[in-house]
Structure 1
Amino acid sequence: MNETTDPNSHILLLGIIAFYWALLSTWGQTQPRQCNDKAKRDDAPTGQRNDSDERRASADTLLDGIRKIDPDFDVAAFLAGAKTAYETILRAYADSDIQALKRLVGPEVLDAFELAISERRDRKETLLLTFIGTSEAKIVDTLDEDGTTEIVVRYVSELVSVTRSVNNEILAGDPEQIVEVIDKWTFASETQSTKRNWMLIATSGE
């Protein structure tokens, strides 16, 4: 997807579950903007910090500004919520569940999703998605300005997606193939909000 949207560039998902929405509603921390860095894995000599230490230090640096505003910001809890949000939004998109998307995404992203869903309906196509799982979700960028906190999360996930015609012919995808998808999603919340309500405001893909 490009900077604000292109939901068709990564085929997205299946039905929203009430449990997911309840979990998202209590996701009481922060959400992302976008950035693109793959961790480099070089052998580290004995006595030097390893890649895991470097990634942790990098994440801590990114979050310094947020922690000045919210000292209790919990990275693990935020990323758990971000992973749930990722799967839930993808499922809602694949299911053409506009009402669910309205609760989870900002206006620009919603407009792009609605357009893609409308075009899919006009073509009488069906998107079937099986979400295998998310192997990675990490914070890669943060921003706090104009009363809004943004956090960018990079996801690496696996899924099976198939687009079928009205005659059930396969137009895209492969029901027998698991595809790796890499996305960066930006979530935003009002900085001074006592109960953070994170919304997806931008997407991009690698």
Structure 2
Amino acid sequence: MTIEILLLAMVAAFLGLRLYSVLGKRTGHEQEHMPRNIDPKANERQSGDDAKPHVPDIMPTPTVAPSLVYDSSAESGMREIINADRNFDVSRFIEGAQAAYGMILEAFWKGDKDDLKSLCDEDVYESFAAVIDAREERGEILENQLVRIDGARISAAEYNRPMARITVQFDADIAAVIKDKEGNLIGGSLSDAAETHDIWTFSRDLSSADPNWILDETDEV
């Protein structure tokens, strides 16, 4: 319990540093897209890997009414997950999913493959790594910023024993800047943020002692 609380505190600190600066909105400019439409793959994960994003699910009583955080289409799957894991908490999952969203974006933009490998399943990681390699070949550097997350809502959920999968739609503002290896601006602006709508699916083996959820599919609206 103490370790989980400490991890939650670390997640909160991460969000405080990265998610709440305000740069404004805009209607469109180019930014490098995340890999999309990756086939889901629920891999077995080793327990005790603290580097993976911890989606906290400590308290059994939600602090936010479930109807506020997931669609009716996800209700059946969410009930199955809650019945399978009595410690699962919907609102704490949403908090952790938002933290993981920021961490994965940051790692992808920086080209940090080690962090991505611990946060994603094999298929998602390989797709991200291929985009990073292509970017490095072109000599491009991203200086993107996640300005804020405007909303995060569970749109789908399923439980196929022992694997649970939860799909979250993130509505966020992202400022995108691309530079060449000499630091010259290629495109974008940190003073002009774009509205982004991502659909990410997280998975976890509920029979495992490992409390971490990993990203196993990405898409966009």
TM-score normalized with structure 1 length: 0.73
Counterparts of residues 7-156 of structure 1 (less than 5 Å): 24-25=53-54, 27-28=56-57, 58=72, 60-156=75-171
Equivalent residues, number: 169
Instruction: Name the structure, 1 or 2, with higher relative contact order (CA <8 Å, separation 6+).
Output: 1
Match of 2:8 in 1: none
What is the CA distance between 1:125 and its match in structure 2? Answer: 0.5
Distance 1:176 1:202, change over 3 A: same
The alpha-carbon deviation at position 112 of structure 1 amounts to 0.8
Could you tell me how far apart the structure 2 residues matched to 1:160 and 1:57 are?
28
Aligned to 1:158: 173
Q: Which residue of the partner structure matches residue 204 of structure 1?
A: 219
TM superposition shift of 1:165: 1.6
Amino acid at match of 2:127: A
Flag structure 2 segments of 5+ consecutive residues without an equivalent: 1-34, 40-49, 59-65
The root-mean-square deviation of aligned C-alpha atoms, in Å, is: 2.5
1:141 aligned partner, one-letter code: A
Contact 1:25 1:197 in 2 (8 A): yes
CA drift at 1:55:
6.8
169-178 vs 156-165, greater mean Cα deviation? 169-178
Gaps in structure 1 of 5+ consecutive residues: 6-20, 30-51
Cα offset for 1:194? 3.4
Cross-structure match for 2:36: 2
Name the TM-score, length of structure 2 as normaliser: 0.68
Cα distance change, pair 55–121 in 1 and its aligned pair in 2 (3 A):
closer
1:119 partner SS = helix
